[in-house]
Amino acid sequence: MPAKRSGPTQPISVVTGGAGFLGSHLTDYLLAKGHRVVAIDNLVTGSLQNIEHLGGNPAFKYIQQDVTEFIFLDMPVDYVWHFASPASPIDYLELPIQTLKVGSLGTHKALGLAKHKNARFLLASTSEIYGDPLVHPQPESYWGNVNTIGPRGCYDEAKRFAEALTMAYYREHKVDTRIVRIFNTYGPRMRLNDGRVVPSFVGQALKNKPITVFGDGSQTRSFCYCSDLIEGIYRLMMSSTNLPVNIGNPREMSMLEFARTIIQATGSKSKIIFTPLPQDDPKLRQPDITLARRILRWEPKVKLEDGLAETISFFANREEGVRQKKNRRRA
């Protein structure tokens, strides 16, 4: 039975992966909306640095736990936001079994919590479920082109399983579920070394090191700033849509063009070098956001130039912090 509410009804949200890049931004957003937030994270790819500013906030609680284990919470819960997962290709290449476990067992536990507490549930799914897409841009109706046994299969299939499990809980247990398919997102709090293209290129550019474009750089991506993404996801949770919705920014560019954009935005002296394209790297990616526009009245607002400026200054400060720490240790 869900725990009984007492006192004023401040919504209570549980965010799995709450110390991660997106989980921590979502946590900030929900706190600003007046929610109480319980963030759960095992810190495999998340970091306490992302939530340290919330220390002492009475509306915030952090639990260090692997969500593939039973989640016990002695309180009512209104919303479960399931964001826990490694999300960068090099992270899930290093952690393939943990990635499969959090997408399957972790989603099972998070859905179980939502069912037990009679809470609404949102799954953070991904554009990766479309694989190397044969339809472009990708609408939600596209079933995808995924290599199950390739290096990205652990992430793609875990998220595909998570979507299937979410729909099963919706149909069988009548849990009120939502599924967001998140396209490439960037912003402050990404890890400098997470291997994704934004931190990689910005980190290289800030140090005037060569920018590593994989392949010939003709593969495309479309980058959404984190605040736009979180706004879209919040609207989805508050909507009445149980079927998957793409959230992302349709402005598409090649990785070569993106490398040039980063060099320009940082004023870097870096040169571009070409290195081998990883296996199964999707050649094209752009969200079709017709559905989000129509049912959520949402579309991204932050221009790439503005979002990059914020992100670059975040990474520049982090780099400076690391440099000062090293100097202090030497002194």
If you write DSSP's letter for every residue of 109-124 in order, what string do you get? HHHHHHHHHT-EEEEE
One residue of 99, 138, 219, 249 binding ligand UDP per CB under 6 A: 219
One residue of 65, 96, 118, 214 binding ligand UDP per CB under 6 A: 214
Among 228, 259, 258, residue whose Cα is nearest residue 246: 228
95 lies in the site for ligand UDP, by CB under 6 A: no
- Subset of 273-312 contacting ligand UDP (CB under 6 A): 278, 281
One residue of 18, 86, 89, 248 binding ligand UDP per CB under 6 A: 89
79 is catalytic: no
Q: Residues 313, 206: contact at Cβ < 8 Å? A: no
| Token duo for residue 250 | 């349709």
Query: Residue 116's CB: how many other CB atoms inside 10 A?
Result: 16
Query: Residue 326's CB: how many other CB atoms inside 10 A?
Result: 10
Residue with tokens 């960037």, as numbered in its chain: 186
Hey, what's the torsion of the CAs at 186, 191, 196, 198, to 10 degrees?
A: 50
Residue among 29, 79, 130, 155 flagged as catalytic:
155
Cα separation of 80 and 179, whole Å?
12
- Only one of the segments 68-76, 142-150, 190-198, 299-307 lies at the binding site for ligand UDP (rule: CB under 6 A); that segment is 190-198
184 lies in the site for ligand UDP, by CB under 6 A: yes
One residue of 196, 268, 284, 304 binding ligand UDP per CB under 6 A: 196
212 lies in the site for ligand UDP, by CB under 6 A: yes
**Shorter beta-carbon distance to ligand UDP: residue 219 or 246:** 219
One residue of 30, 175, 213, 291 binding ligand UDP per CB under 6 A: 213
Cα separation of 224 and 292, whole Å?
14
200 lies in the site for ligand UDP, by CB under 6 A: yes
- Only one of the segments 114-122, 131-139, 192-200, 310-318 lies at the binding site for ligand UDP (rule: CB under 6 A); that segment is 192-200
Q: Which active-site residues does the annotation give? A: 155
